Structure 1
Amino acid sequence: MLVIAMKRFEPIADWLPSPSYVANRRPLRYGRRMGSWWNVEIGGQDAPVWGKSFVPDELMLLFGDDDYYVDSTKLQVLEDVESRATDVDDSPANWFSNVMGYSTTAGALRRRLQLQGFSSEWICRLSTAFFEDQREERHGLASWEDRSALYPNSSAITAALTTRFGRAAGAGIPPDWQTHPREHFLFEKWGELREAFDDPRFALALSLSRTRDSTQVKLDLTDLVLGGWMTGAENPHGEARSRMAAVMAADGPVIVVTEGASDARRLQRSLEISAPDVANLFTFLDFDFKPPGGTDRVVSLTKGMAAAGVMNRIVAVLDNDIAGREAKAQLLKLDLPIRVTAICLPEVPYAGSYPTLGPSGCGMENVNGRAASMEFMFGEDILRDKAGVLAPVRWQAFNERFKDYQGHLGSSDKTDVGKRIDAALSATVKTDITMQVEEGCARLATTLIAAVHIPQRIPASESSILTAMWRRDPFADIEVGP
C-alpha cells in the first residue's frame, strides 16, 4: 500500500485549527502552526517523497476528481471538538486521519507519470546517469570510494533505491553511518537525487518503478486541514489545474489563427515592425504542414482548440469581407472560453470609395466589410499597378444573410499585390519601409494586440498564504484596498 500522509511533530493542541480559522474559513499565516509535514508511504512504509506545509502543484496534477474524498462526518466532529473546546485526548485517534485526501492505485499513477514524461524506464536511466557522473567527478576521494564500494556500479545504486529497503532508507532521519552504512549511503543518494531533480514526480516515479499495479495509493491531507493550510471545502487538484491554466494563459504564447500562410506571414511581420517588444508573445500556425485554408478552416480549427481545452489565448483573424464576417458570426454564436477571440481585419479609409467591377459595370463603392482582405491592409499605393491604376474589386457570390455580394481582387491582381506587399515587408531597415506600409503594420498590430484577452491573474503559487477562495473570485467578499 502506498500512502501520502501528513507527519505530526507537535502536540495535538498545537495542530488543531484556531477558533478564528473555523469561524472564518480563512486561516491567516500567523494562525497556522509552524509546519505540517507530509510524506509518501508505500506498503505502509515511508518513502523519500515528502514536503512541508503544502503539496506542490506538480504532485497534485497527478490526481483527479475520481481520486478525491472528503469525510464530512469526521470534519464536522473535529470542528465541533474545537468549537466546544473539548478535551481532544478523549477523541478517537482515527478522527485525525483520512478526513480529506486522494486514493488511487500505483498502476494508475505510473500511467499518469508516464504521460507527463516520468516513465519508470526514463527516470531510472536519469538516476543511473546522474550517479555515473557523480562517480567520475568524485573518483579518487577516499570517502566516496569507501561508500560506493557498497554497490558495484551506478545501475546497482538505482536498483537498490527502488527496493523497499532503499525507499525506507531515504525516508525519515539519516541512519547512523557506523551502524547502518548501507542505509546511510542510500539516504545520501536520495538526497542528491531530490536536490538535482527537484520535481517531486521524479522521486515518486522512481519509488513506484517496481511497485505492483494494484498497490493502493493514498494522499492524506488531514494534517494540512488541521494545520490551517487548507480547508475541507477546497479542491486541491482543481486549484492546481486552475493555477496551471492561469499561468499558461497568461505566460504562454498567444495563438493566432489566420485564413492562410500569407496572412500569417504578413501579420507576424507587422508585429515585428510595429510592436517588436511583444512580437515574441505571439505564435502563428505552421503552414509547412499544409493545413487547409479559408474561413472554414479558421472556424473549425478555433472550435477544435477550444473544445480540446487548449489553455493558450487564441485570436482567430478573418478577412474584413462578407465571408470573414459570416465566419466571425459563427464563432461568436458559440459558447467559447473568454480567452478565445474572433476578429475581422480593420477597416481602411481608402476602401471607402474603391473601384469595383460587377454585373452593372464599373463603379466606386465602399468595400470595407465586403472585400477588404489582407491585401488591402498596407496602403493604397500597394494596390496600384505600374501605371498607377488600383486593382479593382470583383463582385462574386450574393450572401443571403448579409444581403450583399462577396468581393475579391482578381487572381492575377491578388498575386501582383501580394508580391509588392512581401517585397515591402522584407525590408530589414525600418527607414526603407514606406509610410503607408508602416501605417498598415501599425494598424494590424494594434488590432491584434487589442483582441487579446488580458487575464486578471492572482500572482500566487501553491505555497502562498492565500486561500483557494482568492483564486476563484478574489473580490467576492474581500475588501481590497487601493
Structure 2
Amino acid sequence: MGSYTDLSIDDYPILVTKSFVIPEVMTVFQESDKQVITRKVSERNELVWGKVSPDEDHDEVAVTYNCEVWKAIERLDVMGFTMRRVRKDYEDVRISEVEKYTSWLGDNDDGSCCDDLNYFTNLTFDRYVEALRTVLTQRIRPRQFGDTDIDLDPVVKRIVGDHERYAFGFLGTDTRSFIRVACELVPNNSQLVQDITGVAHAGYYEEDEPVCANSTRALTAGHPENSARIILTEGSTDVEILREALALLYPHLFGYYTFLDFASARPQGGAGSLITTVKAFVAAGISNRIIAVFDNDTAACDARRSLASLQLPQNIAVCSYPNLSSLEAYPTLGPSGLVPLNVNGLAASIELYLGKDILTNGEDFPVQWKGYVESLGKYQGEVMYKGRLQERFREKSARCKSSTDEINRYDWSGLKAILEVIFHAFD
C-alpha cells in the first residue's frame, strides 16, 4: 500500500504524497513548528485515512509540522509568493494551456479539443478561486475519474477530479502558489499541518530528523534563491536592532532572513559603504535575494544617486527606512535653538524608530544639523546621544525577551514600519 504524507489546511487535506514530503512545501514551515506527540490512530485526518475501527484504534507517535495560516501567509509573502505573483503565474499557465489546445484544435478538425479549450479560455483566476472556496468550505473530496457528482459546478468537477499535471486543478508552476491561494480561503487562525507520521513509521524519516531544515537545504543547494534573504544595512547597530525586533515581533519569519555580520567582517559603515557592498554583490552575480536598507536621511539620498545608472538584477532590492508622522515635527537643534521640523529624509537614522517610550522618556534627544549637501540643497542631521538611545533599546529588548508579555507595553510602530518595508521589498 505504501506510506503517505498529507498536508491539510483547516483540517482539509490539499496535498497527499507517497513516501516523501514535497521539499517546497516544507519551506513554509520552520523546525520550531515540529510536534512529536502520542495520539490515537483515529485522530488522523479522517478525510485522508477514513474511519478507524475500534479494534485498530491504538496509540501512535505522531510527527507533524503545524503553523497558523496567518503565519504561513506571511512566510509565503516573504518568499515572494504574494497574491499578485500567484495571480500572474496562474494567468501565464492558463494562457499557455489555451495556446496549446488552440494549436491542437488546428491539427484535429474533429473538434476533440474544444471542451478543454473552452474550459481554459473561461477559467479566470477569480472563477477558480471561488470554485476552490466551495471545495474547501463544503469539504468536497477528490473523486476518481468518472465518479464526480453530475450536479457539481464544472470548475469544481475539475478541481475534485483526477489531475496528473495540476494539483486540485490549480494552474501554477510552484506548489507554494496553490498553498498561498488556499490560505486566503480559510480563517487566519486555522492550522496548516504537514503530517509525516506514516512515512516516519515506515522509516523514510526519523522522528527527530529535521525534515524541514533538510528539505530547505536540499533546495538551496540547487537553487540559492530558496535560502534566507540577506539584509544589508549602513552599520552594525542597525543590524543589532533590526535582528532583535524581527526575533521579538515576527519570530515565525526570523529564519527567512539573515544579516550581514558586521561584527566579524568589520566593513566600514555608512551609506557610501553600503553602496559599495551592493555594487560588489551585483558584480559577483550573487543569486540570493538581497535587501539593502538605507537610513532615511540626506547622506543616504546623496549616496543612492550613484545607483541610478546601475541596472540592478531582480534579486536585489534597494529601499530606505520609511517616513514616520512622528518625525514631521521633531525637535532639531540649530543656530536658532530648538525648533520642531520635519526630519524625514534628512536625519532619520535607526534611533528615531525605536519608539516613543524611548525617545520621550523624560529626556530630550534632538536632531543636530551637521552639514549642507549642496547638490541636493538639503542639510544632513543626526540625533544626539545615540549611545544612550541604543542602550535604552537594549534594556527594552532584554525585558521583552525575558517575558513576551512585556512586548505589548512598548511602542514598536517605527521598527514595525521598517520591517514592513523589508517584508515587501520585492513586491
Give the TM-score normalised by structure 2: 0.46
Larger radius of gyration: 1
